[in-house]
Amino acid sequence: MNQSPQPRPPRGVFRGHENPIRPPEDSELTHVGLGTPCGEYWRRFWFPVAMTQEVTDLPLRIRILGEDLVLFRDGSGRYGLLHMHCSYRNTSLEFGLIEERGISFCYHGWHYDIDGTILATPDDPESGVREHVRHGAYPVIEYKGLVFAYMGPSAEMPQFPVFDTFELPGDDLVPYSISMPCNWLQVAKNTTDPIRVAFFHSRKRDIHFADTWGDVRLIQWFEGEWKMNVAASLRLVDMVWVAIQKIVYPANGSVTYLWEDGTEEKYFTRLGLSKWSVPIDDTHCMVIG
């Protein structure tokens, strides 16, 4: 039997052993609990926590920035966002009864206002608990079909942001919300990286938008103190198509184009998308806008 030639490995520089399978997590950017750098940063902003249509005549249990909370609208139309666990028995206020003013727990009847003030303790009305206990609560604003919350120190509460694109007369604003099993940063970074359009949205299988989206563009980033503009430029014969995405920190992204192909001169496309990538906890987030 003839002897086979000695097998030889392929040429190249292989570094699988030297490289970690997964790089270490940058917890300063990914952890969002109370007291963490990123968590405290998020807590200095207003951001949406639910769609208005999700708030019904029953309390809504939500999880935001690693905190379990209950969102509700009381009988007078005010929105409340309280710590989920009752101050008395540590049970869930998602089973509470919505009152004309605030919410009461269905088991023992403790009654809470939207700011966490204890209005009644039926089991011991003379105990003085109402004077020295305040249930955890966050301020809430309903705006354009979304419910926004501020979860930081009261003394540092910023002005509620009103974007000019939300106030254009005649616009139809359609809220949406999608939960995702990943860290918020993975989704937020997606908005700043439009190169994906030429590959995932155009070459992976089907063309999701227009044929011209499959061409690789020149990407430029213009960063400011509280925002970033991302410009993606492409030359089409005798025209230059410049598509701009806007990011307002920490994670609001506006996409001003969706179904354009760059073949006609336009300054306003009449269709856009504005969204927030909101952390649910360290391993989950929601895209809401």
163-192 per-position pLDDT tens digit: 888 888 888 889 999 999 999 999 998 888
Same domain, 273 and 184: yes
Is residue 6 included in any domain, yes or no? no
> Which of 160, 181, 203 represents a domain boundary (last residue)?
160
Q: Give yes or no: residues 55 and 97 share one domain.
A: yes
Q: How confident is the model at residue 80 (pLDDT cuts 50, 70, 90)?
A: very high
> What b/e readout covers 160-171, taking b as 16+ CB neighbours within 10 angstroms?
eeeeeeeeeeee
22 domain residue, yes or no = no
Q: What gap in Å lies between CA 221 and CA 228, rounded to an integer?
A: 7
Considering the domain architecture, whether residues 140 and 185 belong to the same structural domain is answered as no
Let me know whether 153 and 265 are in one domain: no
CATH code of 209's domain: 3.30.530
Render pLDDT for 130-163 as a digit per residue (tens, 0 to 9): 777 899 999 999 999 999 999 999 999 999 999 8
Asked if residue 14 belongs to a domain, the reply is no
How many structural domains compose the chain? 2
pLDDT bin (cut points 50, 70, 90) of residue 6 is: confident
List, for residues 20-77, the tens digit of each pLDDT value: 777 788 999 999 999 999 999 999 999 999 999 999 999 999 999 999 999 999 999 9
160: amino acid identity, one letter: F
Under DSSP, the state recorded for 233 is: E
- The SS3 assignment for 60 reads strand
Q: In this structure, is residue 69 part of a structural domain?
A: yes
CATH number of the domain bearing residue 106: 2.102.10.10
Whole-Å CA distances, 158 to 151, 163, 264, 278, 285: 11, 15, 41, 18, 23
Read off the tokens for 35: 């007291």
One domain, residues 257 and 280: yes
Residues 260 and 173 reside in one and the same domain: yes
pLDDT at site 210: 60
The answer on 191 and 280 residing in a single domain is yes
Q: Are residues 177 and 131 in the same domain?
A: no
Instruction: Say if residue 32 is exposed, middle or buried (CB neighbours under 10 Å; 0-12, 13-18, 19+).
Output: buried
Its pTM stands at 0.87
- Please report whether residue 218 resides in a domain: yes
Give DSSP secondary structure letters for 242-267.
Answer: EEEEEEETTTEEEE--SS--SSS--S
Same-domain status, 175 and 202: yes
- 216 is in which domain, residue-wise? 166-288
Same domain, 113 and 69: yes
Asked if residue 138 and residue 42 are part of one domain, the reply reads yes
What count of other Cβ atoms lies within 10 Å of the Cβ of residue 275?
A: 21
**Percentage of the chain with pLDDT > 90?**
49
Q: Which conformational region is residue 59 in: left (phi greater than 0), alpha (psi within -120 to 50 degrees), or beta?
A: beta
Per-residue pLDDT tens digits for 99-120: 999 999 988 889 999 999 999 8
In-domain check, residue 19: no
How many helices and strands in the chain, by DSSP H and E? 5, 18
Cα gap 84→136, rounded to integer Å: 9
Cα-based distances in Å from 233 to 195, 198, 216, 245, 252: 11, 12, 9, 12, 22
> Where is the domain boundary, 160, 186, 215?
160
Residue 15 inside a domain? The answer is no
CB atoms near residue 117 (< 10 Å): 15
Same domain? 194 vs 260: yes
Contacts of 202 (CB under 8 A, 6+ apart): 208, 209, 211, 213, 214
Question: Of 160, 186, 217, which one is at a domain's C-terminal end?
Answer: 160
Residue 16: inside a domain: no
